[in-house]
Amino acid sequence: MSEIKLVYFAWVRERTGCAEETLTVPSTVRTIADLAQFLSTRDEGYAHAFEQPKLVRAAIDRTHVKPDALIEGAREIAFFPPMTGG
Amino acid sequence: MSEIKLVYFAWVRERTGCAEETLTVPSTVRTIADLAQFLSTRDEGYAHAFEQPKLVRAAIDRTHVKPDALIEGAREIAFFPPMTGG
Amino acid sequence: MSARRTIRIQSEPFDSAKETATLSALGSDIGAVATFIGYCRSENGRLKALELEHYPGMAEDEIGRVADEALARWPLDALTIIHRFGVMVPGDGIVFVGTASSHRAASFAACDFLMDYLKTRAPFWKKEILADGRVGDWVEAKADDDAALERWKR
Amino acid sequence: MSARRTIRIQSEPFDSAKETATLSALGSDIGAVATFIGYCRSENGRLKALELEHYPGMAEDEIGRVADEALARWPLDALTIIHRFGVMVPGDGIVFVGTASSHRAASFAACDFLMDYLKTRAPFWKKEILADGRVGDWVEAKADDDAALERWKR
């Protein structure tokens, strides 16, 4: 079990209904993909946010990562849609 | 025989010692390359200007042309070095 | 001389003329300044505004990494990147990228590269505010933008 | 809407901020403005000035042809090309190219294309004035500039 700060942006934030939270994650959740799967079981909003895993990007400690990235040691994990800045 | 206005720029102008002139050209001079060759026989300055024909570019009536371009009907022919604007 | 690296994430408008002048005034050996300004568009009157959300902290970090990559690839004397967040109306500048170099090719390539990377890596998201004031959809990322990145792979 | 095409060959300095602002202010559907400014350089103090000779009449015609080619290739809303002649000192702007479009890729590509073509086709020649005031050599054309053109062959 470990405690992680989670942040959400754009429609991921709107669907989860949450901009920022601190969550205790079971130790079986090892990767970003595991975490997304774990979150999607929390409620309908989270399920909706993560229903198309390919459309959700992630960052660990403010650096882009892939779904297979390990979350161990992370202080802040972010989930968001593909970026549309510029 | 035909009369053509000739203009020279940059070091071609400096070497010929002439910015602009009107010249009567024998009818055996048919192309830009012929004209350059013809001009190079005029004096030392012209010979110097055209000593490396590949370094001299030409325009007929203000449009870039290649050495094999025919000069018939030309009103203004220009000779100059490769361009260095921009 | 080490390159001058300016990165700003702000809600306030930027003055592209001033930013360009700053790049140009760096010295007598700046031969080339390339700039790009991205504006909010109305899309033929469909949009009243765009609202840009960003990830504070990561936006600065990620744009910094992209800037460092550009500085490592091209001999730049300076680069400036400004990205705004908040509500913009059509005609407002959203992003400014400017590069200064002795050489044209470097300034162009770096400016183009920076924009491609900002589009796909900088953590900003645009939401449409429709002409009638209703909140519209989040702008979808374009496959084109990912394709553009392929050009820079070495 | 037909594209706004501005070409000026002049000895006077240009105001790049004003030119950029004009491109940006064209309408609420300009999404992207790319600009390039080429400056006179001192080359580490070696040069006092550059003197630019041009072929009046042909300079306008040839730059017009290059502009038309860009307008035919990319969906531009506007382009501005200003090329100066006469004596310039380090820091002076020599050339300004600006393009406006709905889309980033078009504005960038057209601006880059225009500069490549101006370098090799616009009838301008630079002569060096050395730091001590003596007249130096004519600047030699770079093989790089011809190579750059190859990128645009279709």
DSSP class of D64: H
Q: Record the tokens describing residue C60, joined without a space.
A: 């600065």
In this structure, the number of other CB atoms found within 10 A of the CB of residue B76 comes to 16
Predicted confidence band of residue C1 (pLDDT cuts 50, 70, 90): low
Report chain C's terminal Cα–Cα distance, integer Å: 27
3-class DSSP state of B84? coil
Output the tens digit of pLDDT for each of chain A's 86 residues.
678 999 999 999 999 999 999 999 999 999 999 999 999 999 999 999 999 999 999 999 999 999 999 999 999 999 999 999 99
Q: What is the ipTM of this complex?
A: 0.90
Q: Record the tokens describing residue C83, joined without a space.
A: 């990205």
C-chain CB neighbours of D35 within 8 Å are 20, 33-36
Domain residue ranges of chain C, discontinuous segments joined by +? 4-153
Question: Hey, of D9, D54, D55, which one would you mutate to test binding to chain B, going by the most B CBs within 10 A of its CB?
Answer: D55
pLDDT at C8: 98
* Domain B2-80 in CATH 3.10.20.30: yes
pLDDT in tens, D16-33: 999 999 998 887 888 999
Separation between Cα atoms, residue C8 and residue C64, nearest integer Å: 10
Q: Burial letters for A7-33: b for 16+ Cβ neighbours within 10 Å, e otherwise?
A: bbbbbbbbbbebeeeebebeeebebbb
Under 8 Å CB-to-CB from C132, ≥6 apart: which residues? C48
pLDDT at A68: 97
Q: Report, as an integer, the average pLDDT of C51-79.
A: 97
Q: Are A55 and A81 in contact (CB under 8 A)?
A: yes
Report chain B's C-alpha Rg in angstroms: 12
- A32 near C CB under 8 A: no
Separation between Cα atoms, residue D25 and residue D30, nearest integer Å: 8
Q: What is the DSSP string of chain C?
A: -PPEEEEEEESS---HHHHHHHHHTT-TT--EEEEEEEE---TTTTEEEEEEEE-TTHHHHHHHHHHHHHHHHS-EEEEEEEEE-EEE-TT-EEEEEEEEESSHHHHHHHHHHHHHHHHHHS-EEEEEEETTS-EEEEPPPPHHHHHHHHTT--
Distances (CA, A) of C61 to A82, C66, C68: 17, 9, 11
B-chain CB neighbours of D140 within 8 Å are 82, 84
Q: Name the amino acid, one letter, at C88.
A: M
At the second CATH level, the architecture of D4-153 is Alpha-Beta Complex (3.90)
Question: Which residue of chain B is at minimal alpha-carbon distance from D123?
Answer: B83
Q: Name the amino acid, one letter, at C54.
A: H
Under 8 Å CB-to-CB from A70, ≥6 apart: which residues? A30, A31
Q: Report, as an integer, the average pLDDT of C8-22.
A: 95
Q: Record the tokens describing residue D128, joined without a space.
A: 């060096």
Domain residue ranges of chain A, discontinuous segments joined by +? 2-80
Q: Report, as an integer, the average pLDDT of D44-55.
A: 96
Distance from the Cα of C32 to chain A's closest Cα (Å) equals: 23
pLDDT at C146: 80
- Give the residue carrying structure tokens 């820079």: C152
Q: Would you call D61 and B62 a contact, using CB atoms and an 8 Å cutoff?
A: yes
Under 8 Å CB-to-CB from C136, ≥6 apart: which residues? C47, C127, C128, C129, C130
pTM attached to this predicted model? 0.92
